[in-house]
Amino acid sequence: MLRHRRVLLAAVLMALISATSLCARGQTWNFLGCTQIDGNRDHGRIEITRRDRFFRTVQLRLTGDAVFVDRFIIHFGDGTSQGCVVGGRLSPEGREYLIEFPDNRRALESIEFWYFKEHWDHHPSVSLYGNRLSDAAEEPSAGES
Protein backbone atom coordinates (compact mmCIF):
# COMPACT_ATOMS: atom_id res chain seq x y z
CA MET A 1 0.00 0.00 0.00
CA LEU A 2 2.85 2.38 0.85
CA ARG A 3 4.54 1.60 -2.48
CA HIS A 4 1.28 2.34 -4.33
CA ARG A 5 1.02 5.78 -2.65
CA ARG A 6 4.63 6.62 -3.52
CA VAL A 7 4.05 5.72 -7.16
CA LEU A 8 0.84 7.79 -7.21
CA LEU A 9 2.60 10.74 -5.54
CA ALA A 10 5.47 10.55 -8.04
CA ALA A 11 2.99 10.47 -10.95
CA VAL A 12 1.11 13.51 -9.61
CA LEU A 13 4.35 15.46 -9.13
CA MET A 14 5.52 14.63 -12.66
CA ALA A 15 2.16 15.74 -14.06
CA LEU A 16 2.36 19.07 -12.18
CA ILE A 17 5.93 19.69 -13.34
CA SER A 18 4.95 18.96 -16.95
CA ALA A 19 1.88 21.17 -16.76
CA THR A 20 3.91 24.05 -15.33
CA SER A 21 6.47 23.90 -18.13
CA LEU A 22 3.72 23.76 -20.76
CA CYS A 23 2.05 26.85 -19.33
CA ALA A 24 5.36 28.71 -19.26
CA ARG A 25 5.75 28.13 -23.01
CA GLY A 26 2.15 29.17 -23.77
CA GLN A 27 1.35 32.25 -25.80
CA THR A 28 -0.66 35.20 -24.60
CA TRP A 29 -3.00 36.76 -27.16
CA ASN A 30 -4.01 40.41 -26.75
CA PHE A 31 -7.35 41.60 -28.15
CA LEU A 32 -6.76 44.18 -30.90
CA GLY A 33 -10.22 44.80 -32.36
CA CYS A 34 -13.21 43.27 -34.13
CA THR A 35 -15.80 43.91 -36.81
CA GLN A 36 -19.18 42.51 -37.84
CA ILE A 37 -19.53 41.17 -41.40
CA ASP A 38 -22.75 41.89 -43.27
CA GLY A 39 -24.05 40.90 -46.69
CA ASN A 40 -24.11 44.46 -48.07
CA ARG A 41 -20.35 44.87 -48.52
CA ASP A 42 -17.52 42.71 -49.81
CA HIS A 43 -14.79 43.83 -47.42
CA GLY A 44 -14.23 44.84 -43.83
CA ARG A 45 -11.66 46.70 -41.77
CA ILE A 46 -10.45 46.25 -38.21
CA GLU A 47 -8.83 49.29 -36.64
CA ILE A 48 -6.14 48.27 -34.16
CA THR A 49 -6.88 49.45 -30.64
CA ARG A 50 -3.30 48.99 -29.32
CA ARG A 51 -1.06 50.92 -31.72
CA ASP A 52 1.64 51.44 -29.08
CA ARG A 53 2.84 47.81 -29.18
CA PHE A 54 4.71 45.60 -31.62
CA PHE A 55 3.28 42.18 -32.48
CA ARG A 56 5.05 39.21 -34.04
CA THR A 57 1.89 37.30 -34.98
CA VAL A 58 -1.79 38.15 -35.36
CA GLN A 59 -4.64 35.69 -35.12
CA LEU A 60 -8.08 36.06 -36.72
CA ARG A 61 -10.97 34.35 -34.95
CA LEU A 62 -14.39 33.98 -36.50
CA THR A 63 -17.78 33.63 -34.83
CA GLY A 64 -21.11 33.07 -36.57
CA ASP A 65 -21.27 31.46 -40.01
CA ALA A 66 -18.27 30.52 -42.18
CA VAL A 67 -16.88 33.15 -44.59
CA PHE A 68 -14.95 32.70 -47.82
CA VAL A 69 -12.05 35.16 -47.48
CA ASP A 70 -10.15 36.27 -50.58
CA ARG A 71 -7.26 38.27 -49.08
CA PHE A 72 -6.00 40.47 -46.24
CA ILE A 73 -3.98 43.67 -46.29
CA ILE A 74 -2.19 44.60 -43.09
CA HIS A 75 -1.44 48.33 -42.66
CA PHE A 76 1.45 49.30 -40.40
CA GLY A 77 1.97 52.50 -38.44
CA ASP A 78 4.93 53.51 -40.63
CA GLY A 79 2.67 53.70 -43.73
CA THR A 80 3.70 50.36 -45.26
CA SER A 81 1.37 47.47 -46.04
CA GLN A 82 1.63 43.70 -46.43
CA GLY A 83 -0.80 41.57 -48.43
CA CYS A 84 -1.82 37.99 -47.63
CA VAL A 85 -3.79 35.85 -50.08
CA VAL A 86 -6.17 33.42 -48.36
CA GLY A 87 -8.55 32.14 -51.02
CA GLY A 88 -10.37 29.86 -48.62
CA ARG A 89 -13.24 29.47 -46.22
CA LEU A 90 -12.71 30.43 -42.58
CA SER A 91 -15.09 28.90 -40.08
CA PRO A 92 -15.60 29.12 -36.32
CA GLU A 93 -15.05 25.35 -36.03
CA GLY A 94 -11.78 25.48 -37.96
CA ARG A 95 -8.35 26.61 -36.90
CA GLU A 96 -7.80 30.31 -36.37
CA TYR A 97 -5.96 32.07 -39.18
CA LEU A 98 -2.43 33.15 -38.15
CA ILE A 99 -0.29 35.77 -39.87
CA GLU A 100 3.37 36.10 -38.87
CA PHE A 101 5.43 39.19 -39.65
CA PRO A 102 8.99 38.89 -40.94
CA ASP A 103 9.82 42.41 -39.69
CA ASN A 104 8.98 42.63 -36.00
CA ARG A 105 9.69 46.34 -35.54
CA ARG A 106 6.44 47.79 -36.94
CA ALA A 107 3.28 48.70 -35.06
CA LEU A 108 -0.06 47.66 -36.55
CA GLU A 109 -2.59 50.25 -37.68
CA SER A 110 -5.40 48.24 -39.31
CA ILE A 111 -6.26 45.09 -41.23
CA GLU A 112 -8.54 45.05 -44.26
CA PHE A 113 -10.01 41.86 -45.62
CA TRP A 114 -12.06 41.02 -48.70
CA TYR A 115 -14.69 38.29 -48.66
CA PHE A 116 -17.47 36.94 -50.88
CA LYS A 117 -20.93 38.21 -50.07
CA GLU A 118 -23.27 35.43 -48.99
CA HIS A 119 -26.54 35.01 -47.15
CA TRP A 120 -25.70 34.22 -43.53
CA ASP A 121 -28.15 32.98 -40.93
CA HIS A 122 -25.88 34.33 -38.19
CA HIS A 123 -23.83 37.34 -39.31
CA PRO A 124 -20.15 36.48 -38.83
CA SER A 125 -17.87 38.51 -36.66
CA VAL A 126 -14.08 38.66 -37.02
CA SER A 127 -11.92 39.34 -33.97
CA LEU A 128 -8.21 40.10 -34.14
CA TYR A 129 -5.67 39.09 -31.50
CA GLY A 130 -1.93 39.77 -31.39
CA ASN A 131 1.03 37.92 -29.88
CA ARG A 132 3.33 40.68 -28.61
CA LEU A 133 7.06 40.87 -28.78
CA SER A 134 8.70 40.84 -25.38
CA ASP A 135 9.07 44.23 -23.69
CA ALA A 136 12.85 44.08 -24.22
CA ALA A 137 12.37 43.53 -27.97
CA GLU A 138 10.04 46.56 -28.16
CA GLU A 139 12.66 48.93 -26.71
CA PRO A 140 14.47 50.87 -29.44
CA SER A 141 18.15 50.03 -29.57
CA ALA A 142 20.79 52.68 -28.85
CA GLY A 143 21.41 53.31 -32.58
CA GLU A 144 17.73 53.92 -33.40
CA SER A 145 15.84 57.15 -32.90
Where along the chain do its domains lie? 29-133
65 burial via Cβ count (<10 Å: 0-12, 13-18, 19+): middle
The pLDDT, as a whole number, for residue 142 is: 42
The pLDDT, as a whole number, for residue 15 is: 52
Assigned CATH for 29-133: 2.60.120.1380
The pLDDT, as a whole number, for residue 111 is: 93
Cα separation of 75 and 49, whole Å?
13
Per-residue pLDDT of the chain (145 residues; tens, 9 = 90+): 656 565 454 554 455 454 443 344 467 888 999 999 877 888 999 999 877 788 888 888 999 888 899 999 999 888 989 888 888 888 888 767 888 876 666 788 999 999 988 888 888 999 999 888 765 445 544 444 4
The pLDDT, as a whole number, for residue 117 is: 82
